Amino acid sequence: MNTYERLVRDRHSVRAFLPNPIPLATVQHIMTTARWAPSGANLQPGHFWYLQGERRAHLSHALCAAFRAGVREQEEYDYFPQPMPMHLRKRQVSAAQALYGALGVERGDTQARAAQFEQNYRFFDAPVALVVTIHRDFGSGGFMDLGMCLHSVMLAAQAQGLATCAIGALASYPQLIKECLGLADDQIAVCGLAMGQEDTQHRINQTRTQRLDMADYFSVLC
């Protein structure tokens, strides 16, 4: 197995991290490497906001409070298809079952599930917390390019012995995020990203999702 294939196969979403701090220089090296991702017309869309100290604590506190209070905001882009087709819904449910099953959380235990979901807004207590935005003037192609860059961030971190988890839940509170961070309204809050050393002993990190069989996504036309 070559180096790239090993990085891709070893990468997985980590939701429990060791408290060991990550040097800023390491994060900057990862981001520099990731920016070599493909980009149409070399536009390189998206911005990564690295949160530390009081700014991070303020944002997490506000997000957790809004989540507990059941506050809802209008999301600025659609991630899931509406309505969700049954074949996709089954994949979503399967992933959730694997995650909560690893924690021993029963399907009907809404309190425990909510407590775990809230960890998204704490960036899973990872040493590195990033908020990812994109200028709202970009079309769908900009999101595609940003997605490639995000994947490059994850692989570059993996190459440094670090783990990551993209946090789509942050997109549920775009206005709150911009208010807390002082961001202009021309920015769309896309996601968050947690980064740090994986806590390999934590059972939540034992979860692995499966990928489609090749016949489900690759076809040869003659």
- The C-alpha atoms of residue 100 and residue 25 are separated, in whole angstroms, by 35
Rounded to an integer, the average pLDDT of 116-131 is: 98
**pLDDT at 207 (0 to 100):** 87
Rounded mean pLDDT of 97-119? Answer: 92
Q: What residues are paired with 130 via a beta bridge?
A: 50, 193
State which H helix or E strand residue 7 sits in. helix 3-10
The confidence band for 212, taking pLDDT boundaries of 50, 70 and 90, is very high
The rounded percent of the chain whose pLDDT value lies above 90 is: 91
> What crossing angle do the helices spanning 24-34 and 140-159 adopt, rounded to 10°?
130
Contact 170, 139 (CB under 8 A): no
Could you tell me the pLDDT band of residue 108, with boundaries at 50, 70 and 90?
confident
pLDDT of residue 195 exceeding 90, the answer is yes
Q: What is the average pLDDT across 154-166?
A: 98
pLDDT at 107 over 90: no
pLDDT exceeds 90 at position 114: yes
Across the range 68-72, mean pLDDT stands at 96
Q: What is the mean pLDDT of residues 167-179?
A: 98
13-61 pLDDT, tens digit per residue, is 999 999 999 999 999 999 999 999 999 999 999 999 999 999 999 999 9
- Identify the band that residue 2 occupies on the pLDDT scale cut at 50, 70 and 90: confident
Tell me the average pLDDT of the chain.
96
pLDDT value of position 12: 97
The DSSP result for 57-88, as a single string, is HHHHHHHHHHHHTT-----SS--S-SSPPHHH
| pLDDT for position 122 | 98
> What strands, in cross-sheet order, belong to the sheet with 187-196?
47-51, 128-135, 187-196, 163-167
Q: What is the pLDDT of residue 27?
A: 98
Q: Which CATH superfamily is domain 16-79+118-207 in?
A: NADH Oxidase (3.40.109.10)
Q: Across-strand partners of 164?
A: 13, 195
